[in-house]
Every structure is written in C-alpha cells, then in structure tokens.
Amino acid sequence: MQIAFYAPMKPPDHPVPSGDRRMARLLMAALREAGHRVGLASRFRSYDGTGDPRRQAALRAAGGAAAAALIEGYRGVAQPRPQLWFTYHLYHKAPDWLGATVAAALSIPYVVAEASHAPKRAGGPWDLGHRAAAVQIAAADAVLCLTRLDLDCVAPLVQAPSRLHHLPPFIDDAAVTGAAGCGAARRRALSEEHGLDVASPWLIAVGMMREGDKLESYRRLGDALERLAGRGWHLLVVGDGPARAAVEMALSSVRGRTTFLGALAPERLSGTLAAADLCVWPAAGEAYGMALLEAQAAGLPVVAGAERGVPDLVRDGETGLLCPPADVEAFAAAVARLLDDSGLRQSLGRRARELVRSERSLGAAARRLDTIIRGLG
C-alpha cells in the first residue's frame, strides 16, 4: 500500500533531534517493515508554540493551500497517489490542516497516531488548534494512541470504539541489542577513561539538557541521589543541550560521583546503557521516554517517576520500579532497594530485555500496524 506520511509538529527529517522526530521515523520504518511504501507527504509545520491566534489563522490558511496543492498533484502525475494518509502527532499546538482534507478528496482512509486532546485548552490561546484537532481526530478512520492516557483523552471524540487502537511505544530493538552486546567492553573502556570502579554499581541517566521538564528531572535526580551518599554507586549522565550548566548545578551535590558523557550516537548509547547497572530517571512531565525503553532493551532495570505515559513503558515490579510523581524520597528508596539487591536488579533487567524483544520491537509494531491498516480496507 502507498502511504502518505505527515507530521505537523516537526517533519521526520528535521535537523534538530527530538523524541518526536525519532518516533515519526520509527513509525515510517515499521510501516515499511510491514511491506508498505511510505513517502513523506509534506514538511509543512503547523506548530505554534506561543499561543498567537493570528499566527494560527495564518497557518490554517497556508495549510489549506498546501492541501489543495497536494490534491492537485496526486490527481495528476506529479507524485504517486496514496492509498492511505497517516498523520503523526496532532494536537492543539500542531493541528493537521492537510490530512483530513486530502484523504476526503481522494476517498482514502485517514489514520492519526499520537493524537491528544485536552478539554482544558478550550477557549484558551490555542482554541483554534484545539477545535481543529478535535474535528480531525473525529474524522479519522483509525486513531492510534501510544499511551493509555491519550486513549482516555481522545475516546470521547472517536465515532466508534473499533476505530481506537493502543499502539505502545517501540524501538528498533535489533540495532539496540546488537550494540548492547558490547556492554562489557564499553564498561572497561569507561573505567579506564574516567577512573571508575568496575565493581561499584553504575547508575545511568539519559536526557536532553533543556529548561522545563528535563531540567526538573535532573533536579529531582540530584535531590534523590544526595540521600544515598552512604552507598556505593557512580552516576553516568548522557545528554547535552543549552541547560548544561543548570544540569551540572542540579547534580552538584553528587558532583564527585558523577561523570558527564555528553550526547552519544545511538550505537554508542546502546553500549553505554549495557555497561551500566541501573537506569534512573524521575521523568518529570515525560510523555513516555524512549530512553527508558532503550535501557530496558539493553537489559537494564529502570527506576522512574510514574508520570504520564511512563507506566506504558516500564512495568512496575516486573521490569523496574515506578514511584509517585515528584516523590524524591520514594525515588531514592527505590534506587536504594535495587542497589542493595543485585539479584532483583538482574531479574528485572532480564524481564525488561524480554519485554522489548517480544512486545516493543520494530517487528511487533509492524505487525500491529499492518493488522490495523488492512482492517480499514
């Protein structure tokens, strides 16, 4: 099947790395894995981050023109005519001004993934996008939600329960587990490079360094680890960004037990995760946290805050330990429990790796997507 793929917030080939861009690329890869032909329909961005109604109106007009141009091109010979339109991540700040219009004009199914809808946005600065997203979600032939939280939010808009589907976040597990086989060698290299004790448990935190929720996670992490000064451990931090100095300040209380590794390429990150013993991330405001899934693929148990979509990635007591959001003391206690119990650490890690392999792999997502899409025919 020829599929037109579109991401209104940020195109999959946008130069700035992000979890949003990564999930879009993974969805395209899963669709191709299922045997479909996938083309990027448009790079038009409908995102308005400031809540400017005039900008949103201008984007609506520009989106309408872009949709008309696409319809004309598809009806001619300018580009392959799609048999299905697939939009990833539409919400009040980035509604889909293209997909529903094009799909209706071509009489093809309209599918949306990771759509969200918050009633509290009604009447606010993004009211235009809020209302538009509601109409677009209602028009979809299939709505794919990555988290149960999104399922609950969009369910009232979906015309029939059969159109609503849960597609949990997934990763290209083959790439991750392949690189993770280098964990022991990577641990030796890190030990030599940074003077780390290979016999001491290594904690690892992975997150971009920017203001807002990411910085808050680092602050909570610093507060929690400060409570564990009496135990043996060392923290590896993977990530970089404009808030680097603020992150270093957030972890200043454990500075002597922290090594900053900067941003790492995917294959190097996988090996580094496998070199560690425990992934720790408070997950303030985290939509779901792809790094938590990568850690589990590498065989690491996770201690995380049970925020938003995180419980859809980490199974409490099975692949890691989840704590109440913003509860620093509970987070510290969970980390202490796994530091003190290496057997539990290892058993959770084994089950974490198996979870990703069996349920959160590219192949598993491809099969799920293919079943949903073929059911629309």
Residues 198 and 334 occupy one common structural domain: yes
Are 126 and 178 contained in the same domain? no
Domain total for the chain?
Answer: 2
pLDDT for 178 = 67
Find the domain containing 218 and state its range: 173-359
Q: What is the pLDDT of residues 298-319, one digit of tens each?
A: 999 999 999 988 999 999 999 9
In this structure, are 107 and 186 located in the same domain?
no
Q: What is the mean pLDDT of residues 62-82?
A: 90
Same domain for 73 and 149?
A: yes
pTM score, two decimals? 0.88
The Cα 44–Cα 154 span in angstroms is: 24
Q: Are residues 241 and 208 in the same domain?
A: yes
Residues 86 and 47 in one domain: yes
**pLDDT for res 122:** 85
Instruction: Tokens for 151, please give them.
Output: 């399922």
C-alpha dihedral over 254, 275, 19, 143, to 10 degrees? -120
Give the contacts of 143 (CB within 8 A, at least 6 positions apart).
Answer: 111, 112, 113, 115, 137, 154, 158, 163, 164, 165
Residue-wise pLDDT for 319-374, tens only, equals 999 999 999 999 999 999 999 999 999 999 999 999 999 999 999 999 999 999 99
Do 182 and 166 sit in the same domain of this protein? no
240 and 370 in a single domain? The answer is: no
Where residue 88 sits, what CATH number does that domain have? 3.40.50.2000
Question: What is the rounded average pLDDT of the residues 65-85?
Answer: 90
State whether 145 and 213 are in the same domain.
no
What is the average pLDDT across 62-77?
A: 93
Pair (160, 299) in one structural domain:
no
Looking at the fold, whether 277 and 144 belong to one and the same domain comes out as: no
What's the mean pLDDT when you consider all of the chain? 93
Token pair recorded at residue 312: 């859809």
Each residue's pLDDT tens digit, 248-297:
999 999 999 999 999 998 878 989 999 999 999 999 988 888 899 999 99
In the numeric block, which tokens belong to residue 20?
């949003």
- Whether residue 319 contacts residue 348, with contact meaning beta carbons closer than 8 Å, is answered with yes
In a shared domain, residues 57 and 85: yes
pLDDT of residue 15: 83
Closest by CA position to 25, among listed 292, 336, 365: 365
